[in-house]
Each structure stands twice: as structure tokens, then as C-alpha cells.
């Protein structure tokens, strides 16, 4: 059997989609409602329209609407990333049950195909639930703005501004850190049998604090001018490590789980 066959990979992707359709719909609807709540909050509590009297600007309604959309875009980007890591931590949640894990292990496909199919499904799931639902919420918001005779401003601009900046290496360092966290939650979701998100978060807080303390304790001039480069390299190494560990743990899955993973 070849390590990677596109037909088998396509079959596994369809199987993952059908088996996780309820979770896919539930998560997407939840994220859509959350984004709509952010818009409601911005208009009614965060930056209400009557706050325009505070600002001495020529067009206060447009100014306030823009500020509301910017606030929603920022909150939305944070919620989107939180959605990403929750999905990653729950990637193999159902397979921690013996019966479902047995069905997965018995599928006529290689471990490489099974892992890659689920990883691709996770990426597609994350994009739809975290990003496309924000675009839908933004379109609904713009329709409401138009019907309320308000300036029509897209919050998606500010949402995507949080995902792409031009300060190259510093931004690469930031995004590589976010991908590192994502890969850590992926590993926790595969390795741990229970409480994947909580235990992985606790691990992140403890060891993340230790790492920051060690970095800050070093001589300030040690990485002068190269701090972002060093952090970027460390993040990339961490991404490779946790992704490789996730794949290795998946390949060594057995019907009986390890005692040290039964947390």
C-alpha cells in the first residue's frame, strides 16, 4: 500500500466531514452568533452612537461607526484564534473512545493518510468556522447599516488587518508563535485522553511563563537587534517538533490507551 494515495485521502476527507457534520454546523453557528453579538455590543454598550458628542469631528456618525467596526474586527480576530485552538485540541476527541478509535485504526488507509486527512479537515473547519462566519456576520451588519441609513463600513477590513501586517520579521515572529500554540493544542488533543484543552492550557501557562522568565533573564545585549529572528527560529522549531510528535503519537495509537494519558 502506497504511503499517500489521493483517492484514499479524498475518501477519508469525505468520511471526516460526514462524521463531524453536527460539530461543524454547531461550531459555525456558535461563532456566527458570537460575531453578531460583538456587533450588537459595539453599537449598544461598547461605543454607542450618542458617544459622538464626545468627539469634535466633522462627521461623528461615520467616525463612531468606523470605531465600532474596528472594535468588532479586533475582538473577532481574538475569538477566531481561540476557535482555532479549541478545534485543534478536540481534533481527535471522539477517537479517545475505544470503539471509535478501533473503527479509525481499521480503515483501509495508511497512518500518513489518516493523519493528513484529519489535519486538512481541521484547517477547512477552522477557516469556515473562524473566518467565513465573520464575513457572513459582517455582510449582515452592513445590510443593517444600510437599512438604518448609516455609513456602510466593512469590519472585515479591520479583522484581516489583524491577520496581515507589513512589519515583516516581527509579524512573522508573532504569527509563528500563534501557529506554535496551535500545534501544541493539536498535540495535546491527540496525546491526552481527557480534558485536552484544560491540561494543554495549564502546560502552556506554566512552561510559557518559565520560557519568558528565562529569555528576560538573559543579558539585554545578547540578542540585540536579532530578538525577533531568534524567537522566530525557536517558534518554527517548536512547530516542527509538536507536529512531528502529533504524527508519531497518532501512528502508535493502540486500542488500549496509555495510563499517563488518561487524565
| Domain range for 238 | 166-263
CA atoms within 13 A on the CB side of 45: 6
Q: Band of the pLDDT at 208, cuts 50, 70, 90?
A: confident
Could you tell me if 249 and 190 are in contact, meaning their C-beta atoms sit under 8 angstroms apart?
yes
Do 204 and 250 fall within a single domain?
A: yes
**Looking at the structure, do residues 205 and 218 belong to the same domain, yes or no?**
yes
Q: Do 133 and 257 reside in the same domain of the chain?
A: no
Considering the domain architecture, whether residues 14 and 63 belong to the same structural domain is answered as: yes
> In whole angstroms, what is the distance from residue 183 CA to residue 89 CA?
9
Query: 108: Cβ–Cβ under 8 A, 6 or more apart, which residues?
Result: 8
Q: Say whether both 158 and 218 belong to one domain.
A: no
Question: Is the same domain home to 50 and 128?
Answer: yes
| Each residue's pLDDT tens digit, 211-260 | 777 766 765 555 555 666 777 788 888 888 888 888 888 777 654 455 44
- Counting the structural domains of the chain, the total is 2
85 within 8 A of 182, measured Cβ to Cβ: yes
pLDDT given at position 143: 92
**Residue 33 shares a structural domain with residue 156:** yes
Residues 172 and 108 in one domain: no
160 with 213, same domain: the answer is: no
State the pLDDT at residue 44. Answer: 80
Indicate whether 114 pLDDT > 50: yes
Please indicate, yes or no, whether residues 201 and 81 belong to a single structural domain of this protein: no
Q: What is the pLDDT of residues 148-206, one digit of tens each?
A: 888 888 888 888 776 654 444 555 666 677 788 888 888 887 787 677 778 888 888 88
Cβ atoms of 239 and 180 within 8 Å: the answer is: yes
My answer on whether 33 and 157 are in the same domain is: yes
Q: Give the containing element (helix H, strand E) for 263.
A: none
Q: Quick check: 121 pLDDT over 90? A: no
Which pLDDT score, from 0 to 100, does residue 263 have? Answer: 41
Amino acid at each position: 500500500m502506497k504511503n499517500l494515495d489521493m483517492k484514499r485521502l479524498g475518501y477519508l476527507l469525505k468520511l471526516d466531514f460526514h462524521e463531524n457534520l453536527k460539530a461543524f454546523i454547531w461550531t459555525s453557528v456558535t461563532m456566527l452568533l458570537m460575531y453578531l453579538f460583538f456587533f450588537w455590543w459595539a453599537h449598544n454598550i461598547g461605543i454607542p452612537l450618542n458617544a459622538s458628542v464626545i468627539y469634535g469631528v466633522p462627521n461623528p456618525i461615520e467616525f463612531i461607526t468606523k470605531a465600532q467596526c474596528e472594535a468588532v474586527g479586533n475582538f473577532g480576530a481574538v475569538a477566531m484564534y481561540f476557535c482555532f485552538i479549541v478545534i485543534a485540541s478536540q481534533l481527535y476527541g471522539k477517537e479517545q473512545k475505544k470503539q471509535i478509535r478501533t473503527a479509525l485504526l481499521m480503515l483501509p488507509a495508511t497512518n500518513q493518510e489518516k493523519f493528513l486527512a484529519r489535519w486538512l479537515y481541521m484547517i477547512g473547519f477552522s477557516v469556515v468556522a473562524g473566518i467565513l462566519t465573520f464575513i457572513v456576520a459582517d455582510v449582515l451588519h452592513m445590510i443593517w447599516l444600510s437599512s438604518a441609513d448609516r455609513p456602510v463600513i466593512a469590519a472585515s477590513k479591520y479583522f484581516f488587518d489583524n491577520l496581515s501586517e507589513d512589519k515583516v520579521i516581527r509579524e512573522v515572529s508573532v504569527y509563528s508563535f500563534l501557529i506554535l500554540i496551535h500545534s501544541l493544542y493539536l498535540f495535546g488533543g491527540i496525546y491526552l485522553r481527557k480534558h485536552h484543552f484544560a491540561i494543554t492550557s495549564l502546560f502552556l501557562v506554566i512552561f510559557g511563563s518559565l520560557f519568558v522568565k528565562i529569555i528576560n533573564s538573559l543579558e539585554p545585549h545578547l540578542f540585540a537587534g536579532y530578538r525577533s529572528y531568534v524567537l522566530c527560529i525557536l517558534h518554527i522549531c517548536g512547530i516542527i517538533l509538536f507536529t512531528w510528535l502529533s504524527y508519531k503519537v497518532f501512528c502508535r495509537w493502540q486500542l488500549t490507551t496509555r495510563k499517563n494519558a488518561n487524565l
